[in-house]
Amino acid sequence: MAPEKKDIKNRYLVIMLALVLLGLCIIIKAGVIMFAERQYWNDVADRFVKENVSVPAMRGNIISSDGQLMASSLPEYRIYMDFKAGGPDKDSLLMKVYLDSICEGLHKIFPDRTKAQFRQQFIQGHQKMARHFLIYPKRISYTQYKEVKKLPLFNQGKNRSGLHEETYNQRKKPFGSLAMRTLGDMYSDIELGAKNGLELAYDSILKGEPGIIHRQKVMNQYLDQGL
C-alpha cells in the first residue's frame, strides 16, 4: 500500500475512533441524567408548572406630612439547605471543597455561632440528606441574607447550591415609640393584619393586593441564578 493511502486510512481511523468515543460519552451522560440525576431534574421541572405565579403584596409605608418614614415593612428570612439539590457533583464540592470557607463565612455573618458549630450542623444535615435543613435558627435581615448568598457555592443559585429561604415581612418603626399609639400596631404575624391606629384604619389600602409574575420572568430569574 502506498504511504499516502496508508496515511489517509490512519486519519480516517482516528476520526472514526473519536466519533465512537463522543457517541459513548453522549450515551453515558444521557444515562446519568435519566437515572442518577432524575429527581433533581424532576424538581426543576416542577418549578415551571404554573403559567403565572402569585406574588404577595408588600404592606405599604406610612409617611408623615413632611415626608418622614414612620412605618415600613422590611423582609426577614430563614435560610435552609437542600442537600440533594444540584446532584452528586454539588454534594462533593460542598463537603470536600467549600465546607470550611462556607462555615467561616457564616461565622463572620453570625458571630454568635462558631465555625465548628456550623460545620457540625452541615455534617448532620448531610448525613440525613435533608431537603429543608435550617442553617441558622433565627430570622436574618436582608443585608445578612445578601451576604450569605455571596459565599462560595451559595452564589451559584438555589437549584445548584441547595440554599433556599423563607421570607417574612416585619413591620418596623424608624422612630421607635414616637407616635406609636397614633400609628397603631400589627399582630406578631403580619399576615393577620393590624390591631389599631392608622394601621387598622387604612388596613385595606396598606395591605395592597397580590400581584402576578409571568412564567417567562420566573424562568429568567432561575437562569440569572445560575441554573
CA dist 175 to 72, 73, 183, Å? 11, 14, 11
Contact between residue 71 and residue 61 where contact means Cβ atoms under 8 Å apart = yes
Sign, CA torsion 147/152/157/163: negative
Fold of 52-224: Penicillin-binding protein 2a (Domain 2) (3.90.1310)
Contact between residue 78 and residue 144 where contact means Cβ atoms under 8 Å apart = no
**Stronger pLDDT, 137 or 175, i.e. the higher one:** 137
pLDDT at 40: 72
The pLDDT tens digits for 151-186 are: 998 988 888 888 999 988 778 788 877 778 888 888
The pLDDT tens digits for 73-89 are: 888 899 999 988 877 77
Secondary structure (3-state) at 212: strand
What's the grid cell of residue 163? 440554599
Contact between residue 108 and residue 151 where contact means Cβ atoms under 8 Å apart = no
> CA 46, 77, 49: angle at the middle one, nearest 5?
10
Contact between residue 62 and residue 183 where contact means Cβ atoms under 8 Å apart = yes
Helices assigned H by DSSP within the chain: 3-31, 38-46, 87-93, 99-109, 115-128, 142-148, 158-161, 180-183, 197-201, 203-206, 215-224
What's the grid cell of residue 4? 499516502
Q: Is the pTM of this model over 0.85?
A: no
